[in-house]
Amino acid sequence: MNAPTKIDTSAEALMATAIRVLTMDAVQAANSGHPGMPMGMADVAAVLFNRFMQIDPSCPKWADRDRFVLSAGHGSMLVYSINHMLGYADMDMDQIRSFRQWGARTAGHPEYGHADGIETTTGPLGQGITTAVGMALAERMHNARFGDDLVDHYTYVIAGDGCLMEGISHEAIDMAGHWALGRMIVLWDDNKITIDGSTELSTSVDQKARFAAAGWHVQEVDGHDREAVAAAIEAAKKDPRPSLIDCKTVIGQGAPNKAGSHKVHGAPLGAEEIAATRTALGWAHEAFTLPKEVYAAWQAVAARGREAREGWEARLLCNEHGGAFEKSLAGPDKAAMAEAITAYKQQLSADAPKVATRKASEMALAVVNATLPNAIGGSADLTGSNLTLTKGMSPVSKDNYGGNYIHYGIREFGMSAAMNGIALHGGFFPYGGTFLVFADYARPAIRLSALMGLPVAYVMTHDSIGLGEDGPTHQPVEHLASLRAMPNLNVFRPADVVETAEAWEIAATSEKTPSLLALSRQNLPCLRTEHRTENLTAKGAYVLREPEGGRDVTLIATGSEVEIAMTAADELARQDVRAAVVSAPCFELFAAQDEAYRASVLGDAPRVGVEAAVEQGWSPLLGARSAFVGMTGFGASAPADDLYKHFGITAEAVAAAAKKLIR
Ligand SMILES: Cc1ncc(C[n+]2csc(CCOP(=O)(O)OP(=O)(O)O)c2C)c(N)n1
Ligand SMILES: [Mg+2]
């Protein structure tokens, strides 16, 4: 019903047809996947790449390339078919043939790092568009530092109805409008279909009005009218505001019987409909074979990009900021950071300041930010609580992209996804703060930081009942456990000013693992009064105090509870019980140590774990003869000292638990 009546045989039409055919054939071969979206957006994508995208498949990481984000990640075959035809070396036809199979780069949803030309992992709807906001902001920030000759690119996004329904899209749209990210262009696949059926089942929002209200430039086009799409992208590029192009499309366009229906969203078309589609599209070629002229058309895009990249490289060579530009994109200077932090630690151990670890974090950040000129701080409206702003930082705004501190607003999820985008863009080390309890609001983006292996740092203060009077809504209890459950995330809970500095050294020099620092509101004594050059936090856990003559018990604690464990050890010593104290600021790094080291830290004596949180996740540190002193339910609103007493997280309780074990 929706097949074009007259078959368009122009090169650009063939480019689009090839996307449709490769998509339906790959989904059919995999017997799973989503043909509707790539088929529906094939015309828009063909125009975008054919006439606008500046990318060089022979140099996929070229810094000044345009970024393309498929926020509607279920339509992954759109990216794979395009990248195949563009000639990315790692995307040969075998990859298309083995779509969604074990070992293939063509995963069900686009996975960052699996294949070149995939700018970010998408699939969790709404995150792609928000990650793209971070990329587009990073482009402007990098441009402010290095100028138009070196940084001058666009961020294009294809978003579906689902992306725009997700709450995070509100945060994304607001941020992009507020920061006037004019180089961000969103192509909305407005096909009025989601999985359950018509969008009329679930939404009646006026999307265009919503974007306009946030300061966007808004247009509407027939998404199958390529000239109209091209004109809209042209106008979007000229407008200084971020742009939404509402592309009215038909899902599964090209499939004569199934187009326009939710049935084409996420299921193979079937042999019969595939044959009918080939006829309707006038496509005589077998599955997984493309005519030369199709490759030629796509590879002309690649050739244009290559030329642009070569021109850019020539400019880089004679640019006075060329060296600094390349340095900004290189990994962190670990030696410089180690030197700066070690000198700082020496001072700390001598001065032994008693400060909250959030304050310790602020102090450490002063060192980090002085050493890493490309650090970009920020907070989700809790700057004064998270203590994320260091001296000399200035706010990033539409009038000052040269700033280095981002007021993300009350948008924890948006902040976190945007930080992913900043990290993916390159040139910056982003960190951002909120209360630990609101890690839940940010969690899906933290998960993508971890999945993609991005060096992003989360500064999460007010890390336990120790925050006191704000009460149980604000007191994390299960958060440490749930964050530690996430693969490839280093969760740090430093005990004092020195461990906090060490945690920051690791976070700021990490290359493939995001870090989360859980920091106290309340003051904590300096426990590391003896200076050690070695970063002990990097071991994950270490012996802070070893009794003479062997151990009767080992007390293991993190963060604010290490002080309690130390007091308990004193108390036990008075009663002739020899207690070792282990500080365990990072379970993940401890798990990565060798068996011998772990055994030496944990010892053979019974163990008591202490943490003002739930016990879940502690089992690798505890043993058969062990006890745990912590929380078993929600907290309460009262001064912190009262809460610790009430919930029984005290030195006396720890000592009593120890004695019970060794009796
Ligand atoms: C956060 C999230 N929730 C749910 C899903 C599952 N899901 C995948 S696609 C989809 C429907 C998306 O609709 P739309 O964006 O309009 O895509 P179309 O059907 O038009 O291809 C859903 C619910 C998901 N991928 N991410
Ligand atoms: Mg849709």
For residue 129, give the ligand nearest its CA: 1
For residue 166, the ligand 1 atom closest to its alpha carbon is 1
For residue 36, the ligand 1 atom closest to its alpha carbon is 21
- How many angstroms does the Cα of residue 270 sit away from the middle of ligand 1? 21
d(CA 8, CA 18): 13
- How many angstroms does the Cα of residue 18 sit away from the middle of ligand 2? 21
The backbone torsions φ and ψ at residue 473, rounded to the nearest 5 degrees and listed phi first, read: -65, -25
Q: Residue whose CA is closest, atom 13 of ligand 1?
A: 194
Render 172-229 in DSSP notation, one character per residue: HHHHHHHTT-TTEEEEEEE-SEETTEEGGGT----HHHHHHHTT-EEEEEETT-HHHH
d(CA 187, CA 159): 6
- Which pairs with CB-CB distance under 8 Å and at least 24 residues apart come from 205-210? 207/164, 207/244, 207/246, 208/244, 208/246, 210/170, 210/173
User: Residue 2: is its pLDDT beyond 80?
Assistant: no
d(CA 348, CA 342): 10
- Is 413 in contact with 445 (CB distance < 8 Å)? yes
User: Residue 540: is its pLDDT beyond 60?
Assistant: yes
Render 127-156 in DSSP notation, one character per residue: HHHHHHHHHHHHHHHHHHHH-TTT----EE
Q: Which residues surround ligand 2, an ion (CB under 5 A)?
A: 160-161, 191, 193
Ligand 1 binding site (Cβ under 6 Å of any ligand atom) = 36-37, 72, 74, 123-125, 160-163, 166, 189, 191, 193-195, 251, 265
Q: What would the pLDDT profile of 408-423 be if each residue is shown by its tens digit?
A: 999 999 999 999 999 9
For residue 195, give the ligand nearest its CA: 1
Q: What would the pLDDT profile of 350-390 be if each residue is shown by its tens digit?
A: 999 999 999 999 999 999 999 999 999 999 999 999 999 99
Q: What would the pLDDT profile of 145-159 be if each residue is shown by its tens digit?
A: 999 999 999 999 999
Q: What's at 131, amino acid-wise?
A: T
Q: What would the pLDDT profile of 549-597 be if each residue is shown by its tens digit?
A: 999 999 999 999 999 999 999 999 999 999 999 999 999 999 999 999 9
d(CA 99, CA 28): 10
Token representation of residue 278? 């080939």
pLDDT of residue 574: 97
For residue 126, the ligand 1 atom closest to its alpha carbon is 1
What is the number of residues in the chain? 663
Give the CA-trace dihedral at 366, 368, 372, 376, to 10 degrees. Answer: -70
pTM over 0.95: yes
pLDDT of residue 6: 76
pLDDT of residue 507: 98
- How many angstroms does the Cα of residue 195 sit away from the middle of ligand 1? 7
For residue 196, give the ligand nearest its CA: 1
Q: Residue whose CA is closest, atom 21 of ligand 1?
A: 37
For residue 124, give the ligand nearest its CA: 1
Query: Which residues, 6 or more positions from 397, have their beta carbon under 8 angstroms from its beta carbon?
Result: 179, 403
- How many angstroms does the Cα of residue 638 sit away from the middle of ligand 2? 49
d(CA 662, CA 558): 22
Average pLDDT over residues 290-306: 98
Provide the annotated active-site residues.
412
d(CA 432, CA 412): 9
- Is 156 in contact with 68 (CB distance < 8 Å)? yes
- How many angstroms does the Cα of residue 265 sit away from the middle of ligand 2? 8
Q: What's at 333, amino acid-wise?
A: D
Mean of per-residue pLDDT scores for the chain: 97
Residue from 109, 195, 203 whose mutation best tests the ligand 1 pocket (most atoms within 8 A of CB): 195
Render 404-465 in DSSP notation, one character per residue: -EEE--S-HHHHHHHHHHHHHHSS-EEEEEEEGGGHHHHHHHHHHHHHHT---EEEEE--SG
Helix 127-146 vs helix 168-178: crossing angle, to nearest 10:
20
For residue 165, the ligand 1 atom closest to its alpha carbon is 15
- How many angstroms does the Cα of residue 24 sit away from the middle of ligand 2? 17
435 forms beta bridges with 461
In eight-state DSSP terms, residue 278 is: H
For residue 163, the ligand 1 atom closest to its alpha carbon is 15
For residue 75, give the ligand nearest its CA: 1
For residue 72, the ligand 1 atom closest to its alpha carbon is 15
Looking at 453-550, which runs of residues are DSSP E strands?
457-461, 490-492, 515-519, 523-524, 542-545
User: Residue 4: is its pLDDT beyond 60?
Assistant: no
Q: What would the pLDDT profile of 299-334 be if each residue is shown by its tens digit?
A: 999 999 999 999 999 999 999 999 999 999 998 999
Q: Residue whose CA is closest, atom 18 of ligand 1?
A: 194
Residue from 111, 129, 171, 194 whose mutation best tests the ligand 1 pocket (most atoms within 8 A of CB): 194
Q: Residue whose CA is closest, atom 9 of ligand 1?
A: 74
User: Residue 3: is its pLDDT beyond 80?
Assistant: no
Cα first-last separation, the chain: 82
d(CA 476, CA 635): 8
- How many angstroms does the Cα of residue 118 sit away from the middle of ligand 2? 22
- Is 78 in contact with 19 (CB distance < 8 Å)? yes
In eight-state DSSP terms, residue 397 is: B
Give residue 113's pLDDT band: very low, low, confident or very high (50, 70, 90).
very high
Q: What would the pLDDT profile of 475-530 be if each residue is shown by its tens digit?
A: 999 999 999 999 999 999 999 999 999 999 999 999 999 999 999 999 999 999 99
User: Residue 5: is its pLDDT beyond 80?
Assistant: no
Q: Residue whose CA is closest, atom 8 of ligand 1?
A: 74
- Is 445 in contact with 592 (CB distance < 8 Å)? no
User: Residue 654: is its pLDDT beyond 90?
Assistant: yes
- How many angstroms does the Cα of residue 57 sit away from the middle of ligand 1? 29
- Angle (CA) 365-367-370 rounded to 5° is 105
